[in-house]
Structure 1
Amino acid sequence: MALVLHASKTNKNAFKTLIVAEYSGVKVELVESFEMGVSNKTPEFLKMNPIGKVPVLETPDGPIFESNAIARYVARLKDDNLLYGSSLIDYGHIEQWIDFASLEIDANILNWLRPILGLRVYLPPAEEDAISALKRALDALNFHLASNTFLVGHSVTLADIVTTCNLYAGFTRLMTKNFTREFPHVERYFWTMVNQPNFRKILGEVKQTESVPPVQFAKKPSQPKEPAKAKPKNEPKKEVKKHEPEKAKAEVTEEEEEEAPKPKAKNPLDLLPPSKMILDEWKRLYSNTKTNFREVAIKGFWDMYDPEGYSLWFCDYKYNDENTVSFVTLNKVGGFLQRMDLARKYAFGKMLVIGSEPPFKVKGLWLFRGSEIPQFIIDECYDMELYDWKKVDISDEAQKERVNQLIEDCEPFEGEPLLDAKCFK
C-alpha cells in the first residue's frame, strides 16, 4: 500500500510531509479532490482521526495524524536520514526547533489570523497579545539566524522544513514587508528556504502579502422568530422586492482562505520618457560577445549608456562574515537573482562571489531604469536590504573602471580570486 496523504493541495501542514518526502525519496500520494469541511467529515475519515483534523497519512500499518508526527514518520523511513542531523545533539536541537516553531510561531500566527477570518471572536487586545508574542518569537529566531544559515548544522533538516511551513502562512497572509523588515535574518532564511528546489517543487512561487486582510466579524446567532400573525382576509398584498439569496459561506480554514486577485497598477517606470538606451540590445550584445570583450561589449555598453534614463549601482553584501560555506553563499546569490525576476524588464546585474576560502565576499553591479533604485524592487525583494548600495559616479574614472571589471568578471577582482560570477539579464 502506498502512503496516502489526506489534505488539500493548499494545506501548509501537508506541505511539511510532501517536502520531507522530496528530500527522503519517499513516495507520498495526495488524495485527489480533497474538500475541507466535506472530505474530513466522512465516516471513513473520522475512523482515521475521530476529531476530523487534517492532514492524515494512511500507511500499511495504520493511519497517523498530527502534521509534525507525520513528517517525522516519513523522515524515519529512510535510514540515517540527514534531515535528523548527524549526532544526538543535532537530533535534540532539531526537536527543539520543531517545538519552538509549533508553540511560538504557528500558534501565534493562528491566534492572529483566525479572528480576522471570523473563525473566532475578534478582540483587539487579544490581537495585540498575539502580535506581541509572535514578534518575541521572531526576534529570538532572528538572533539565532544572525550567525546560522540553517537552524541546525550546515544543511536542511526537519527543523527547517517545519519552521518554514509554519512561517508560510504568516508571510503569505499576514506579515507584510513593513512587519518582517524588523527581522532581516528571518526574511533571508525564509526566502532562502522556499527557493530550495525541493521546497519550490511543493510550494511553487511564494509571494509575500501586501496587506493584512480585513476583519470578517463572526455573525451573531440568529434569534428565534416569533410565530407569524394570521393576516386578515382581503388585505391587499404588499409588493415585496425579490433579493438574490445569499450564498452560503463554505467552511474556511486558515490554510485554504485565498485573497481575490488585485488588478495590477501600471509600473511607474513605463511612464518615464523614452531612453536612447535599449536594454534588450545591451543584453544581446553582452550575451553574444565571446572574444575581445573589452573592445566590443564594454565599449558598446558605454556607447549605449544613457545616464538620464538609467542609473548604475554598486552593491556589497552586509554580512560577509556569515559566508563560511561556499554552496550556501552561492545559493544566497542565486536566490537573490531568482527573486529579482520581477525587475527583468528594467534591470541588468552582475554578482561576483569573491575569495578562495571563507568567509566569501559578495559584490555586484546593477543597471536600473530611472535615476534611482525602483521603489517596487525595494518593496518586493527583501534581499535589497541585505546589501549596501552606492550610486556609481561615472565622472570618476576609478568607479567607471570598477564597472568594467564587474561586467567582464575580471579576475583577480580587487586582488582576490573569483569563486563564481552570475549574471542577471
Structure 2
Amino acid sequence: MNYAEKISDQVGKVPRSGIRDFFELVIGRDDVISLGVGEPDFPTPWNIREAAIYSLEKGQTSYTSNLGLLSLRKAISKYCSNFFDVDYDAASEVLITVGVSEALDLALRALLNPGDEVIYHAPCYVSYSPSVVMAHGKAVEVTTRKEDGFALTPEAVKAAVTDRSRVLMLNFPTNPTGAVCSREQLEGIAKVAIEHDLIVLTDEIYSELRYDDEKHVSIASLPGMRERTILLHGFSKAFAMTGFRLGYSCAPAPLTEAMMKIHQYSMLCAPITSQAAALEALENPATMEVVEKMRLDYKRRRDFMVRRLNEMGLECHSPGGAFYVFPDITKFGLSSKDFAMKLLEEENVAAVPGNAFGEGGEGFLRCCYATAFDQLELAMDKMEAFVGRL
C-alpha cells in the first residue's frame, strides 16, 4: 500500500519538529549535557503537587464543563486583571485548554478560512507555522534581526500585510531568542493591527520570566486591542508544570465560543486533576514566592551564560525573558546543524540548531539555561574548548 497517498495533503506539508529530530540522537545517553529541551529543571512547587494528589484522594476524577472549572476561570480572570491589566468575564471569555498548544490550534481553526494569511515573527517556536498550515492557512514569516534584539518592529509587520492577512501571531518573550518588545513597539504594532483589522494571537507563556526589572506588557492591554486579541497563557513554564498540560485562552465571548465549539468535539475538557493543581497555583500566595525564586535563579544563569559565550567569541545578546540564549555562530563557517552536531560529537553538549526555528535562525544556536548551574558551568567549559579548536 502507498501510505503517502492516504495521508492528507495538509499533514504531508508539515515537517517533523527540528527540536525533536535532533534530540532523538541523545535519548538514553547519560554522558550528554542537554541545553536543548525548553523545560524547567525545577520540580513543580510542592503545594501544587499536593493539591493534585488531594484532588485524586477526594475522588475528583470527572469531566468538567467544556470551558473548565468555573473556580479556575475566576482565578484566571483575577490573575489576568492583576498581571496583564486586562479584565475578562470568567463565565464567557476564559477557556481552559490542554496546554497553550491546544489553545493556539483552536484559535487558528476558529479564525481561518482556506488561504487566509497569518503573519508571525521568526525565529519562533517550531509549532507556529505548522499549526497555521494544518488550519488551512498560509504562514507569512517576518524575520527579526539580531541588531534589533530579535524584537518585532511595526514597520516589518506593516510590510507583510496583504489583502489576505487575517491574523497576527506574537510571542513575547520569545522562544528561542528570549526577545521582548517594548511598550512603544507594541503600540506601533497595535496601530497596524487596528488599521488593517487583524486579529492578534499573543502567546505569553514566558511573561512571568522577565529580567532587568522590566514590567511585562501585553498587547491585549493597549487601547483598542482587547476586542481583537486572543491572549494565550498557561502554567508550563513559570510554574514548572509542563507535564500537567494546562493552558488557557482569554478573548471576547464570540471568539471564545467559536474556540469552545472545536474544543468540545476534540478534547471535551482539560483534565480535572491538572485544573485542581492550577487553581492552587493561582490562589496560594506561596506559589508566587517560589516562581520568583525560580525567576531569579534563571536570571543568574542567563547572566553567566551570556558572559561566557561572549568571552569565548560567540556573540550573544542578553535576552529580556524566557530561558534561552541565541548565540551567533556564523563566523565559524559552519551551518547551525553542522555546528550543533560537531559540538555533540566532540564535547557531548547538546544544543538546538537555530534553523529549527525558521530560516532566520540559520547561523545561530539555541541554548536553554533551564539546567542545573554546575551543568551549565561544565557545558560552557566544553563549548569554550570546542570553539577554541574551531
TM-score strictly above 0.5: no
Higher RCO structure, 1 or 2 (CA under 8 Å, sep 6+): 2
Q: Which structure's CA Rg is the greater one?
A: 1
TM-score after normalising by structure 1 = 0.21
Q: TM-score, normalised by structure 2?
A: 0.22
